[in-house]
Amino acid sequence: MAKKTDKSNQAEVVIELRDLRKSFGDLEVLKGVNLTARKGEVISLIGSSGSGKSTMLRCANLLECAQSGDIIIEGKPVTWSQAGQERVPADKKQLISIRTNLAMVFQQFNLWAHLTILQNVIEAPISVLGRDRKECEAEAREWLDKVGIADKADAFPSQLSGGQQQRAAIARALAMAPRALLFDEPTSALDPELEQEVIKVIKQLAAEGRTMILVTHDMNLARDVSDRVVFLHQGIIEEEGDPKTLFDKPVSSRLKQFLSATVSE
């Protein structure tokens, strides 16, 4: 699939993680991971359950707080207070800015059940960004049309299929005009037929040159949309590279084993 992106090393760095370490109690989930995502780059994080993929993604936009390491968003390091297990972001405005500019799309959609789809999409631009309601509504309808559910604007989440709900969640993320989109297993809760609806939208966004990091179990999706694929194993980055090289000529024995098991499923 042709992508209109600047994949050169000169492209602006949007997200940089340096020596990130995260534990839950005695369980060390991230053991010093490093990642750089440049403007227009699509990166897929793959690996077995429990390898640290989702934790790495959640640390990037501060839904989880790493106990050590640096997180740098568009050249600005996150400032911290306290240390270790008690470490938290020190600047509330910076925290809100990061979560606004690194929009997360979750596995379970996380739509507000009591709001219509249109209301779900406009809520954050109005309440967080302070934008005009009519302007937000007009843009929201365009986003819903983009993801193929313009006719569901006045429906409630419970009236939509899983695939439609996930596309609504993507529209909600896009409405914040984020610098990057973070997808945490966006298709794993869906039946295969509904999964394809969401994959089509993700491929479209990738082709537009949007900066994205995806945690995914779908190796075909990772191969098709990614500029770079990162394989995590037990909290470390075991191997990374362009999709063709990584999938066709894996070096790590662990990656070879993982791909063999994934293909055979």
In a domain, 125, yes or no: no
In a domain, 118, yes or no: no
For residue 253 the two structure tokens come to: 């024995």
For residue 177 the two structure tokens come to: 């005009």
160-175: per-residue pLDDT in tens? 999 999 999 999 999 9
Looking at the 3D structure of the chain, how many domains does it have? 1
State the pLDDT at residue 1.
Answer: 45
State the pLDDT at residue 192.
Answer: 86
Overall size of the chain counted in residues = 265
Residue spans of the chain under pLDDT 50 = 1-6, 265
| pTM for the whole structure | 0.92
* Residue 232, strand partner residues: 237
In a domain, 201, yes or no: yes
- E strand map for the chain: 13-24, 27-38, 42-46, 68-73, 76-77, 80-81, 88-89, 102-105, 180-184, 212-215, 228-233, 236-241
State the pLDDT at residue 83.
Answer: 84
- Residues spanned by the domain of 251: 13-110+180-264
Which residue carries 């470390």 as its tokens?
A: 236
In a domain, 1, yes or no: no
SS3 state of residue 181: strand
Q: Read out DSSP for 103-171?
A: EEE-TT----TTS-HHHHHHHHHHHTT---HHHHHHHHHHHHHHTT-GGGTTS-GGGS-HHHHHHHHHH
Query: For the chain, what is the mean pLDDT?
Result: 93
Give yes or no for a contact between 172 and 129, defined as CB atoms under 8 angstroms apart. Answer: no
pLDDT > 70: what percent of the chain? 95
State the pLDDT at residue 189.
Answer: 83
State the pLDDT at residue 5.
Answer: 45
State the pLDDT at residue 244.
Answer: 95
Sheet of 13-24, strand order: 27-38, 13-24, 68-73, 76-77
State the pLDDT at residue 11.
Answer: 77
CATH number at residue 91: 3.40.50.300
Q: How far apart are CA 183 and CA 165, in angstroms?
A: 14
Which residue carries 């070879």 as its tokens?
A: 256
State the pLDDT at residue 2.
Answer: 41
121-179: per-residue pLDDT in tens? 999 999 999 999 999 999 999 999 999 999 999 999 999 999 999 999 999 999 999 99
Count CB-CB contacts under 10 A for residue 97: 16
